[in-house]
Amino acid sequence: VVYYLSQNKDKQQILREELNALDTDFTYENLNQCQYLNAVIDETLRLAPPLSSVQRECIQDYKLGNTGITIPAGTNIEIQPFVIHRDPEYFVDPDEFRPERFIDVKHPPYAYVPFGCGPRQCVGMRFALNEMRLCIAKTIHKYEFSLAPDFQIDYFTET
C-alpha cells in the first residue's frame, strides 16, 4: 500500500481526506465503511496478491469452455492470482493502480482472488483486512509517503 500510494500522491490525498472526515477514533465500524480505504486495499491486493498460487483438485471431469480440452477428475490445478488479476479481460489497464475500479463495480466471480476462493479461502482473510485497515488509517493519518528516487519493486524477488 505504501509503495502504490507513494507513486500516486493524488490517491494518497483522497484517502487522507476520507480518513480525516471521520469524526471519531478509527473503529471497526467506521473503517469498514470507508469506501476509498477498502478500494485502496483491494487494488493493492490485486496488484500484489499475498498468495503466489492456489492449488485445487478437480473433483469431476470438466470441459474447459469451447477449447475441446477436458480436465480429468483427480487432476491438480494451480491458479495464480497475480496472472488473473492482471488480465485485461477482467481489469482495464491492469498494471495501473486504480482503486476506483473497486468502487461500485462488480467483477466476474473468481477474477479477484487474493486470499484464494471458495470454501478453502484463507481463514485469516477478515482478520488481515481489519489489520490492514487500521494500520493504513493510522499511518496515512499521520504521515505522507514518498519513494526514494529510482525505487522499483521486483515482484518475484522482493515480495
d(C-alpha 90, C-alpha 84), whole Å: 8
State residue 53 phi and psi, 5-degree precision: -160, 160
d(C-alpha 76, C-alpha 95), whole Å: 29
The region that residue 68 occupies, defined by phi over 0 for left and psi between -120 and 50 for alpha, beta otherwise, is left
CA distances (Å), 6 to each of 9, 25, 105, 146, in order? Answer: 6, 25, 25, 5
Whether 135 has a binding-site annotation, put simply, is: no
Rg of the chain over Cα atoms, rounded to whole angstroms, equals 18
d(C-alpha 113, C-alpha 53), whole Å: 10
> CA quadruple 129, 130, 133, 136: dihedral positive or negative?
negative
Please report, in range form, the residues annotated as the binding site: 122
Please report, in range form, the residues annotated as the binding site for heme: 122
